[in-house]
Amino acid sequence: MIKQFRHLLSRQGLLVLILIGFVPVSFGEISHVSAGNNYTCVIDDGAVACGGENTVGQLDVPLLTGARALSAGARGTVCAISDAGLSCWGRQSDGLLDIPKLVNPVKVSVGSRHACALDDEGVRCWGLNDYGQLNVPKLESVTALAAGDDFTCAISGGQVQCWGTDHDGTLDPPAFKGLEVLRVTTHACAASRDGMVCWGPNDFGESIAKPFIEISDIGVGGLHSCVITSGKVKCWGFGNQNQLLVPEIKNPRILALGSGHSCAVGDEGLVCWGRKRSYLNADDVMAFVGGVVAPPKLETVSLYDYFKRPRPVLIEEKGPLDYADDLPVLRAVTQSGVVISTGSTHSCYLKTG
Question: What CATH number is attached to the domain comprising 51?
Answer: 2.130.10.30
Which one-letter amino acid corresponds to residue 196?
Answer: M
Alpha-carbon distance of 74 to 53, in angstroms, equals 12
Provide the number of structural domains found in the chain.
2
- Is 226 a member of any domain? yes
Segment 267-287 mean pLDDT: 69
Specify the higher pLDDT residue, 308 or 226. Answer: 226
Q: Facing residues of 270 across strands? A: 25, 265
Residues 205 and 350 occupy one common structural domain: no
* Whole-angstrom Cα Rg for the chain: 21
Closest by Cα among 350, 307, 352, 347 to 331: 347
Residue 278, pLDDT score: 72
Three-state DSSP class for residue 253:
coil
Residue 171, pLDDT score: 98
Residues 195 and 311 occupy one common structural domain: no
Residues 174 and 255 occupy one common structural domain: yes
Q: Facing residues of 234 across strands? A: 227
Q: Is 70 exceeded by the pLDDT of residue 3?
A: no
Residues 52 and 198 occupy one common structural domain: yes
Q: Is 90 exceeded by the pLDDT of residue 244?
A: yes
Mean pLDDT lowest among 146-160, 174-188, 261-275, 299-313: 299-313
Specify the higher pLDDT residue, 179 or 2. Answer: 179
- pLDDT, one tens digit per residue, over 98-127 is 999 999 999 999 999 999 999 999 999 999
Residues 55 and 11 occupy one common structural domain: no
Closest by Cα among 284, 285, 278, 286 to 259: 278
Final residue before a domain boundary, out of 235, 257, 280: 280
CA-based end-to-end distance of the chain = 27
DSSP state of 274: E
- Going by their DSSP bridges, the two strands 261-266 and 254-257 should be labelled as antiparallel
Segment 141-152 mean pLDDT: 98
Cα dihedral 117, 118, 119, 121 sign: positive
Residue 138, pLDDT score: 97
Alpha-carbon distance of 227 to 175, in angstroms, equals 19
Residue 29, pLDDT score: 85
Q: Is 80 exceeded by the pLDDT of residue 335?
A: no
Segment 234-260 mean pLDDT: 96
Specify the higher pLDDT residue, 92 or 21. Answer: 92
Residue 268, pLDDT score: 86
Q: Is 314 exposed, middle or buried (0-12, 13-18, 19+ CB in 10 A)?
A: buried
Q: Is 50 exceeded by the pLDDT of residue 303?
A: no
- Going by their DSSP bridges, the two strands 337-342 and 347-351 should be labelled as antiparallel
Task: Yes or no: say if 179 and 215 are a contact pair by the CB < 8 Å rule.
Answer: no
Residue 27, pLDDT score: 58
- Is 286 a member of any domain? no
Alpha-carbon distance of 176 to 119, in angstroms, equals 26
Q: Is 90 exceeded by the pLDDT of residue 4?
A: no
- pLDDT, one tens digit per residue, over 9-34 is 222 222 332 222 444 555 568 999 99
Residues 217 and 235 occupy one common structural domain: yes
Alpha-carbon distance of 228 to 105, in angstroms, equals 28
- Express as a percent the part of the chain with pLDDT over 70: 71
Specify the higher pLDDT residue, 46 or 292. Answer: 46
Residues 182 and 234 occupy one common structural domain: yes
The whole domain housing 212 covers 21-280
Confidence grade of residue 130 (pLDDT, cut at 50, 70, 90): very high
Confidence grade of residue 149 (pLDDT, cut at 50, 70, 90): very high
Average pLDDT over all residues of the chain? 79
Alpha-carbon distance of 23 to 3, in angstroms, equals 16
Q: Is 50 exceeded by the pLDDT of residue 142?
A: yes
pTM metric for this prediction: 0.76
DSSP state of 285: H
DSSP state of 349: E
Residues 155 and 262 occupy one common structural domain: yes
Alpha-carbon distance of 182 to 143, in angstroms, equals 9
